[in-house]
Structure 1
């Protein structure tokens, strides 16, 4: 083969590649349509998986996975689990101490497992040899073949070396003043542009990036640095031409912009290149041959505009800035709530005292482990037969400003490894203190044989970072969980779960986020009061939006501490295809450009603290199950409802089949009645169906005079 035929073959190969991508997109749409039709067929009372399977070209197992209600009787009736060796009684006397046998013979340590105290007799938390295989006598495993396996800490010195900090990487108080950026608010549907106290009406033509930049800089020749889109979502204008929204967004961001090019970044908060997101993208542009920079962003990053005009949105940002300035005299609203949240937090780092030298960043190995093993919000839809096919009602409770409830304590200091052997050697009091402290634990979990409620602990499910919550009696699984969830599993009001400690990470307890969170909570309270008592409807609406922005600052600020491995997005002209990085994934293309992305691992971010995010997320998930209201001497949460009444969990929200008498005092973490359908409804089987019922329930509650 000579050079000419080689290049010709490459051209033909690229053509085949493009055809494959189009075919895959078409196949994905067809498969989604097939799965939806299977769900519709499953709703028929006499539907059978054996008949649907050949019609769909799938196996009976595939049909049952898509529609669990169609499982044949022989599959839904579990074989009795073999008795576990040395298993403890299901309902021990209050003074019993349960000591579970280790799955494999272990050296005798002489240490007793702790009997955890609580409202119910607690099980022992027994040590097991780290990494030992699950005992087949411990119950039916939760589909081990289908689940992804979570990473573990290597044994011996290799794993011990993880327990340190990254050299010369420390969160410290900044020694500079953040610079504000000139900002405008634009509705691309109406063309209304608001800049300070001025309002303009623009002709945006096709609402492309080029049209937006041309129109804005025509009426504001001195320039602006940030354009917030309040309505119109121009990046979705050609969505029907692409199989995925991300493709449409990437095409909009990367369309030709005469006189402009993609920004390469500047300043201390250097942000370069576009951010391709299906709903809230960010376009960053720089004037050709000049120093003019501009961002185009969605205000949806901050709050749901819900029909507010650009002037009201501008007023919301003004009120937000004024409220933050009462606590931070140098507060600046940055492009996103996560950027703003972390910048404000750095300005609460003490300059004297215990942490005056800052907060060191964990080793990259521990950050990677936390990234893989610490999930965020609980999102779970329970479908028939776990709930009735016809729900008597659907009630939505949303935890008000939920994450702010869980910032009072966070991990600090150099982490310690707590192996199963170390844990076993401790006294019962030391074990209890460790489990109630700031820790992240690898555990083997067994569900009680009498359990008939929702799952308590997250377990890895198929898919990248997917989680589910096993609840079948006697199910056994291995996972990682935070202290709040371990505590809930041991002391829940129904029946204690059996927990075996395999390995763990333990920090000292500290308050690195307490001052930051208190200031944000006070800001939120102030703006919420303004929204309630303000006589001017527009200002009341603006104050409400500003209070929602404070929630986003804390919520996304916490998420930013998690510091996911970075994904870089870039574009390459089709004529220079060989310049696409060899490790990049092509995510979209057209006749002019190829858009690609590639992982770059963890950056040297001095404010990366996934241990803080993990602790808060664990506390929030636990509070969805049970939460004490001391002032009212009562409890709220899913475990305080009858079995079969929980329809769904959605981050901070619970969906139930009946209203609950839970107190709401407008404090962070309180359960707020957010939606209520008082009539029977068909149980949702997809997220889309749940969201449709959620919206209907909120509308119905407002119409009856309730709601937020």
Structure 2
């Protein structure tokens, strides 16, 4: 450029300067007008910073600066940060969200944090492996009680194992909501086909990725979310779902954090110049990250992409099955086998991100088009859903210690119920329940009482263990701590609990003598089969894949079919767990200089010199798939079957109550651990007891769950060496 060109450029630049000055003056006037309007709106008694910020197109922090009275910062957030050093704060596992809870987070880029803190919502995603998930935490019970219409009470500090009181159905008009449904909310058959998502399978340890084009090796750098997304999208543009088959990149810096969950949250929210958290789009899109210690979900969108934006999920294939060392190409083949098996019954099947999402979508496509429920299944009232959430536990997990068992065991034998939950879907509660109070129950004839107890019902009962009882406990009692439930067995022990009809019937008809059961309240449903067709079709797919895994000539194809059969199992188990619908737990991150963005009632999980990570319970959503009455019914039936179940072909009773007292070592959801083998029939059908491990004695009695699992693994290896599972 010469002097003449330079001077000409200056002349052209001056008019732009003048035009910009005019526009800036006009903009300043508009901003002053907006700020004045914000101040006026802030004077409204019911105004909230979030609502005003959204309308004005500014952050909550800017609104609070103009109208200080709208500051939503919880006092506990200020107090906690004033008294804590700038380092990660340990969070109790019991106080955090249960594994599988939905926790959408704020964006990973600071510029987007304001919006995420104001709008951190997402469609709930169901629980992770519900067959091994703990019962609802105490904090969740309290939240559910509030949602159910009870007055909140000051938090009580309890020691582990202390008996707690479950909510009851209130008397009078307040109790009417517990025999009602949510207005204009039904589970209905969808009239659209799910959109398929392009997916790839990535071994984050080796960088090997499998997709439509076969296998390729990627350079993943430091394996941050940003580097993984950049590498994948460069080779496979259009990818919308990345399944990690091995490597767990979210655990890379786990040693720096008190818990795995905190390490995962930090990895998901690592700052990125090119990717930010996905805020959702469309009816089947979910917003925010899902923080889970081992099965997290990262949802991202490219920064600055408005039209045709890229939306990508990073997920663990462990949601579906344990890949057991399978390479990404074989894992992809397992998904192909799964899709083909499901397509037999569901021609429009689309594999969604998780087994739970897939399971609920497949179930919705079995809702009848004719008959009583052609218009859809009604969703229970929020009060009743809250009651089920607080009072219906999941699988039984219990370790029995000496003197209940010998200090030295003659052996440890594991019996695991094959595809157990699939056996308990043939009958479910439907419609609006009717309430039968304790006084009304007492007036019924013996035949009427027996009929009610055999009906699909959720019962509040006062239980007394009979004198002379020497066997395991039969009904769950609520306690504080990580487990949340214990099973009292000491003679004379009395407690009040809620239980399903299957468990109450087992307690009254057990082979050693009936327990004393006083019915205090009952919610009795009509009998139906809303999930039976769905379950039968999944069982058929499972049986087909399992058979192929046994007889296929190719070893790799046998493994792919086996993994696909495990995925079907996950679809049913997690689908049932998804019907339970827990209160949403929402997580977000906020910079330290904008603490007013932390929502009211939030708990600070961690913080450093830049930002805090918080969590809060956001209550129940209007989810048309929420049917906790079905989950509770299946879980109750499964717990009862661990105690006693009839094998009809042989007319033989099996289960923990059909072995001598003192032989039961532990329960783990679908499994029972004994000190001796028993000749129980096994036909490979759902619910049958499979001999899965046998460790010959003498064996020291396990004193902890970790010790039990170590002995379990040895027992499985010993049985395999001796000839394998029966």
Query: What TM-score results when the alignment is normalised by the length of structure 2?
Result: 0.78
Aligned counterpart in structure 2 of residue 253 of structure 1, from 268, 282, 300: 268
CA distance in 2, matches of 1:145, 1:570: 32
Contact 1:375–1:465, Cα closer than 8 Å, also in 2: no
Q: Which residue of 1 aligns with 2:362?
A: 344
- Please list the CA deviations of residues 143-184 of structure 1 after superposition, one character each: whole Å capped at 9, or x if unmatched: 999211000011123213321100011000001101110000
Q: 1:144 to 1:675 in 2, by over 3 A?
A: closer
Report whether the alignment pairs 1:601 with 2:667.
no
CA distance in 2, matches of 1:502, 1:583: 34
Contact 1:439–1:504, Cα closer than 8 Å, also in 2: yes
Contact 2:552–2:558, Cα closer than 8 Å, also in 1: yes
Q: Which residue of 1 aligns with 2:690?
A: 672
SS of structure 2 residue aligned to 1:162: helix
Q: Which residue of 1 aligns with 2:570?
A: 552
Q: Map 1:294-443 to 2 at 5 A.
A: 294-443=312-461
Q: Which residue of 1 aligns with 2:215?
A: 199
- Please list the CA deviations of residues 440-479 of structure 1 after superposition, one character each: whole Å capped at 9, or x if unmatched: 1000111110110000000111137710000001111111
Contact 1:227–1:296, Cα closer than 8 Å, also in 2: yes
Q: 1:175 to 1:145 in 2, by over 3 A?
A: closer
In the TM superposition, what is the alpha-carbon distance from 1:695 to its structure 2 partner?
1.4
Q: Which residue of 2 aligns with 1:264?
A: 279
In the TM superposition, what is the alpha-carbon distance from 1:494 to its structure 2 partner?
1.1
CA distance in 2, matches of 1:647, 1:422: 40
Aligned counterpart in structure 2 of residue 19 of structure 1, from 72, 85, 92: 85
Q: Which residue of 1 aligns with 2:517?
A: 499
CA distance in 2, matches of 1:22, 1:308: 36
Report whether the alignment pairs 1:659 with 2:659.
no
SS of structure 2 residue aligned to 1:632: coil
- Please list the CA deviations of residues 253-309 of structure 1 after superposition, one character each: whole Å capped at 9, or x if unmatched: 000122111000112123100010001000000011221100000011111111111
SS of structure 1 residue aligned to 2:697: coil
Q: Which residue of 1 aligns with 2:178?
A: 162
SS of structure 1 residue aligned to 2:85: helix
Q: 1:145 to 1:622 in 2, by over 3 A?
A: closer
Q: Which residue of 2 aligns with 1:454?
A: 472
Q: Map 1:444-483 to 2 at 5 A.
A: 444-463=462-481, 466-483=484-501
In the TM superposition, what is the alpha-carbon distance from 1:568 to its structure 2 partner?
1.1
Q: 1:313 to 1:535 in 2, by over 3 A?
A: same
CA distance in 2, matches of 1:26, 1:433: 44
Q: Which residue of 1 aligns with 2:162?
A: 146
Q: 1:634 to 1:262 in 2, by over 3 A?
A: same
In the TM superposition, what is the alpha-carbon distance from 1:707 to its structure 2 partner?
2.2
Q: Which residue of 2 aligns with 1:586?
A: 604
Q: Which residue of 2 aligns with 1:519?
A: 537
Q: Which residue of 1 aligns with 2:111?
A: none
Q: 1:314 to 1:26 in 2, by over 3 A?
A: closer
In the TM superposition, what is the alpha-carbon distance from 1:575 to its structure 2 partner?
3.5
Q: 1:196 to 1:680 in 2, by over 3 A?
A: farther
In the TM superposition, what is the alpha-carbon distance from 1:573 to its structure 2 partner?
2.5
Contact 2:180–2:381, Cα closer than 8 Å, also in 1: yes
Q: 1:332 to 1:601 in 2, by over 3 A?
A: same
CA distance in 2, matches of 1:223, 1:188: 20
SS of structure 1 residue aligned to 2:222: coil
Aligned counterpart in structure 1 of residue 299 of structure 2, from 271, 275, 284: 284
- Please list the CA deviations of residues 80-121 of structure 1 after superposition, one character each: whole Å capped at 9, or x if unmatched: xxxxxxxxxxxxxxxxxxxxxxxxxxxxxxxxxxxxxxxxxx
CA distance in 2, matches of 1:611, 1:26: 30
In the TM superposition, what is the alpha-carbon distance from 1:425 to its structure 2 partner?
2.2
SS of structure 1 residue aligned to 2:243: strand
Query: What TM-score results when the alignment is normalised by the length of structure 1?
Result: 0.80
In the TM superposition, what is the alpha-carbon distance from 1:694 to its structure 2 partner?
1.2
Higher RCO structure (Cα 8 Å, ≥6 apart): 2
In the TM superposition, what is the alpha-carbon distance from 1:570 to its structure 2 partner?
1.4
CA distance in 1, matches of 2:661, 2:382: 42
Q: 1:18 to 1:528 in 2, by over 3 A?
A: same
CA distance in 2, matches of 1:287, 1:21: 30
Contact 1:412–1:507, Cα closer than 8 Å, also in 2: yes
Moved more, 303-312 or 245-254: 303-312
Size of the aligned set, in residue pairs, is: 587
- Please list the CA deviations of residues 127-153 of structure 1 after superposition, one character each: whole Å capped at 9, or x if unmatched: xxxxxxxxxxxxxxxx99921100001
In the TM superposition, what is the alpha-carbon distance from 1:16 to its structure 2 partner?
4.4
In the TM superposition, what is the alpha-carbon distance from 1:692 to its structure 2 partner?
1.1
SS of structure 2 residue aligned to 1:631: coil
In the TM superposition, what is the alpha-carbon distance from 1:675 to its structure 2 partner?
1.2
In the TM superposition, what is the alpha-carbon distance from 1:14 to its structure 2 partner?
6.3
- Please list the CA deviations of residues 361-415 of structure 1 after superposition, one character each: whole Å capped at 9, or x if unmatched: 0011111011111000000001111111111111111000000000000001211
Contact 2:161–2:479, Cα closer than 8 Å, also in 1: no
SS of structure 2 residue aligned to 1:587: strand
Contact 2:456–2:633, Cα closer than 8 Å, also in 1: yes
CA distance in 2, matches of 1:25, 1:611: 32
Contact 1:372–1:465, Cα closer than 8 Å, also in 2: no
CA distance in 2, matches of 1:335, 1:627: 35
SS of structure 2 residue aligned to 1:698: helix
Contact 2:177–2:381, Cα closer than 8 Å, also in 1: no
Q: Which residue of 2 aligns with 1:230?
A: 245
SS of structure 1 residue aligned to 2:653: strand
Q: 1:27 to 1:196 in 2, by over 3 A?
A: closer
SS of structure 2 residue aligned to 1:521: helix
Q: 1:14 to 1:661 in 2, by over 3 A?
A: closer
Contact 2:182–2:379, Cα closer than 8 Å, also in 1: yes
CA distance in 1, matches of 2:460, 2:362: 33
Contact 2:86–2:607, Cα closer than 8 Å, also in 1: no
Aligned counterpart in structure 2 of residue 210 of structure 1, from 226, 230, 249: 226
In the TM superposition, what is the alpha-carbon distance from 1:582 to its structure 2 partner?
2.7
Contact 1:447–1:472, Cα closer than 8 Å, also in 2: yes
SS of structure 2 residue aligned to 1:601: coil
In the TM superposition, what is the alpha-carbon distance from 1:12 to its structure 2 partner?
9.9
CA distance in 1, matches of 2:254, 2:277: 22
Moved more, 382-391 or 317-326: 382-391
Q: 1:497 to 1:253 in 2, by over 3 A?
A: same
CA distance in 1, matches of 2:92, 2:627: 41
Q: Which residue of 1 aligns with 2:661?
A: 643
SS of structure 2 residue aligned to 1:392: strand
Aligned counterpart in structure 1 of residue 256 of structure 2, from 241, 250, 255: 241
Moved more, 675-684 or 618-627: 675-684
Report whether the alignment pairs 1:693 with 2:708.
no
Q: Which residue of 2 aligns with 1:184?
A: 200
